[in-house]
A and B are shown apart, each in its own frame.
Chain A
Amino acid sequence: MFCEKAMELIRELHHTPEGQLPAFNEDGLRQILEEMKALYEQNQSDVNEAKSDGRSDLIPTIKFRHCSLLRNRRCTVAYLYDRLLRIRALRWEYGSVLPNALRFHMSAEEMEWFNRYKKSLATYMRSLGGEEGLDVTQDMKPPKSLYIEVRCLRDYGEFEVDDGTSVVLKKNSQHFLPRWKCEQLIRQGILEHVLS
């Protein structure tokens, strides 16, 4: 049956929970494009025959193939667009630098889209008042307290806190730090908020 591969791509994403990105199904996409090419060429020849030989009995088949073509296109665009939305969510979740595991699941073109998106977002944020602009990706949750207890999960090195003093973030060390300074590191997995 036509459009099977297209349905497979859709199902693949449908089964993937939000926030996850499966590997880019390059093979699947290629097969769909090939099927579309074949359908189109068959339709071309049938249309010519229908016109020249008056074969109006071919018309239902032509229509059917056309519907399959439209369905293939719709599924393909939906697959690609849904992946873009997932990739976009990654920028907000992980920041500008993506974990390697996720990068391997992205195609080169998706990476390019991501880089352009990042740049566009950065330009927008920089334009918001002040010299450095405003980092809109911070402060994702309403602040409960000024300072929080954090534990360091990985060696990070020196980290500057207010008024010049700095802290050394070594693995397993615990610190009482200003919440807004830690937010980015918590999201990147370097610090862990200790809820006691």
Chain B
Amino acid sequence: MNYKLLFSHRKLWTLGRRRSTSRLHEGIRVSGQALFSSCSPKVCVVGSGPGGFYTAQHLIKARPDVELDIYERLPVPFGLVRFGVAPDHPEVKNVINTFTQTAKHSRCNFYGNVNVGRDVTINELKEAYHAVVLSYGAEGNRTMGVPGEDLAGVYAAKDFVGWYNGLPNCRELNPDLSCETAVILGQGNVALDVARILLAPINDYILFLQSTDITQPALEALAQSQVRRVLIVGRRGPLQIACTIKEIREMVNLPGTKPEMLPADFEGISEVLKDVPRPRKRLTELMLKTALETPGEKELERRKSASRSWGFRFFRSPVEVLAEPRTNKTSAIRLAVNRLEVEGFTRAVLTGEVEDVTCGLVISSIGYRSLLIDPGLPFDSRKAIIPNSMGRIQHTPGVYCSGWVKTGPTGVIATTMNNSFDTARSMMEDMDSGALDVSAVKSGSQSITALLRGRGVKPVTFADWEKIDSVETKKGEAEGKPREKLLSVEEMLQVAQT
């Protein structure tokens, strides 16, 4: 069955007509002349991931006069939908369809290959547009801040994910998968994505991966991987785990693997469950079942034949990554043992004990982090977000933010959708109240593209992206994959601009 897209043009037009008619009448009453020549508000959005696209979508839908330009640093759009979502979660990427509709709308233009902060400044955008929305996400990571973090074999989850998802600046990562044990710090959904991919090289799962958009080099490296055991480590306890039940269920059902949990970690947990809300309760019950229940015959058989294992480890924080003597290769990670203290919220407190875990691969999945792209902007470096109130950037009228740079790097696509809609609503309120002055004539993309031309920057249009899309799709077809991603900016530009 074909899905009609939710973003219905027919509906949009009807909504628009009512609004512009009333505005027209207002214009005639007030000034005695029609407001036909009132310029359309010009808005630019920086970043083309879910944050940027959902904000754009809401604005275009709600105001029939807004003209919108989306600037993106890479030649390809969609941000973390393309580079973050795990290859074995293709249905999550369906949002690309609705983003494509928005990009192809007559009042929306996409300009890829434009680095805001380097090729053009925020001030220059402020001059050319009535409003600027920053939705450039979180491209950095939180560091563990421990000795040995720079040893060979230690990677940030963001980079590991970028590597198997084809992010251009991660293509040289070449992670060393020749060790038996991998330790992942952090227990959010990204950590579980990484664990699934690491445990893939077996039977059905890698065959399945071969039918996804995981990059070919990553697939080949995984096929050679010696990793047999993955430990997913968190500072606190089972009740504080940050991942969601769907991802835990996927681990439990992962073919060719068996769970390896420590029953002691779950002491006292089932007693407190009855008062816990259903979502947390179900998730914890699934973990308890996996850790404590004696498996049935079928499951026992399955576990006996499993060649790989995974497990959660709780109450542990990294204190040092240890190297093999006289090398810079990771040989173990030293973990501090924690206990929990409840003071309003539950936090981990060091007990003084440590324990060493032998491993050759350490992946730190403790959070992405937004960067400051223009020194003129306010920035909260503790939370790593741009300080704002409902998307309105503090002390910076006319500049808004949405997505992770607004709220911090947590949440799924739908969370970002809601947060983007909120920012769009704030901007519309400001347009209606006059707090955002849209009466002046602004040059919009005309002046910005001229400026970029003068600086030797050639933007990639949406039609250009569709050329890249077509090449990737065709390459993928030959291998039974939805696409084979181009891995470098140079290749992308070559396809886009010839």
Do chains A and B stick together as partners? no
Q: Residues on B close to A: CB < 8 A?
A: none
Q: Residues on A close to B: CB < 8 A?
A: none
